[in-house]
Amino acid sequence: MPIEASLHESDHGELNIFHVFDTLEVYDGSLALAIDHVINHIKVLVSTVYLPEDKNLLQAYQNHPLLRKGSSEVRSPERILLADCIRLLDGLVEIGRLAAYPETSDQARRELEDLKASVPFLDYRYENDPFPSDRDRE
* Strand-pair partners of 63: none
The candidate with the shortest Cα–Cα distance to 121, out of 105, 137, 104, is 137
Q: Please give the model's pTM, rounded to 2 decimal places.
A: 0.87
Percentage of the chain with pLDDT > 70? 93
CB 63 within 8 A of CB 121: yes
Q: In 49-86, which positions are buried (b, 16+ CB within 10 angstroms) versus exposed (e)?
A: eeeeeeebbeebbeebebbeeeeeeeeebeebbbebbe
At 20, the pLDDT band (50, 70, 90 cuts) reads: confident
Neighbours of 47 (CB within 10 A): 18
Q: Is residue 135 over pLDDT 80? A: no
Stretch 120-138: mean pLDDT, rounded? 75
